[in-house]
Chain A
């Protein structure tokens, strides 16, 4: 972890040398209506927000606020009913090459018939990355998540937390520009979760990747993010978009003990409570920080 005293995310420069666009991921007026036999269900009404390159944003909202729906629209797994998602200025119409997704259900997102190493390697192999380069990327990714010692195991031989590490390693090895995470730690125990949260911060800093982290856990969103986007209850709009002005160097004990952490947590909690009661922001847009 390099020390970075700048609290506001604006001061962050991505490690890669090339010039990056102002906006990496742009969600523009996304609306999703599911057509069912029992009538239409509006899961997402109108969502607009932008992520700058190298930003780590958390998306938090009450349960059933269409978080997963939104993530599926962003990742190109599902087409929005209206609006569009732009990745690096290009409209997303299918899963983009520059994006990797880590799902909540680790047990169902890894291939059980492949060993850990093969799982991490498969997306690269599929893209025709040469063997030598592939090996380096896989080794580095496994090293980064602390799993260098189990390349020959099958995923189901590992604990839940370790399986999710494999999924993260697979995403890292893929070298995405945007990493989407859909409540990745919702199904692991509290201690493992704390380790994995720190892992995400480390990986994010090391790779300079743009991360959108979806969670229902308020503490987690404040601890992890440079920014927290709070969603309203369904039909979903952006309730509030706040900057997390905590020191860049975070620590499970000290950061969580900061008065500012408590304030922010309190604020997000209040907003979520309001959202649950059906309160909606005056303007259906966002107050982008």
Chain B
């Protein structure tokens, strides 16, 4: 401490004078524990069934079994489910970006009777756990003839109160002068929105897109009930049916579950800052 106070620099580099190496040791151990399940998963996905079930455990495959990964595509309708998951996610992300931005803009910038009551009603959805909606949603999808379709799995998640809330907050924070200028040039509200406000909404749109993609890709409950056929469902559901009652090919199961997580992991590593910002928003949802 004494060297800190006698040093001529007015402000210490760090608020806390903690020994650096201790911080790094703790963070490294904690961090490795956090990712350990993924490392172990990769290890198992490249092992033989005998190695996976051996005691003591095998820490490295004697010979990496890359064939486990090709087996994934042969044994289960994995590719089909991968495609379904991707299509559902894309439909939801595009749908939400458009609908939530439009509605968020209306709630933030337009004047019409009953606006505040309507917005409060939309927000009230967030207070209600999703189990309340599930049975009737199933009925709606059934009546529309959309069970076992991409559209049916995607539909309820296209409409989001939380996305609307995020977009409204964003539009409220934008300066009014931009719109004034557009209006003076004779643009109608749609042109103002589409040409000026929407393109300036990058950060808010990316938060909505990332949260929707995560929720949609990883969702289990809704696809589980909205699609009953193996080739019509998503990866999350497909994985749960992979563990057979008596014989499960563990290495292939590990390879499949790793492949199922890979797209979002890559997204996270590439867009790290954006994803963390998006996740920070999800805390508000509660």
Asked if A pairs with B, the answer is no
Chain B residues proximal to chain A, CB less than 8 Å: none
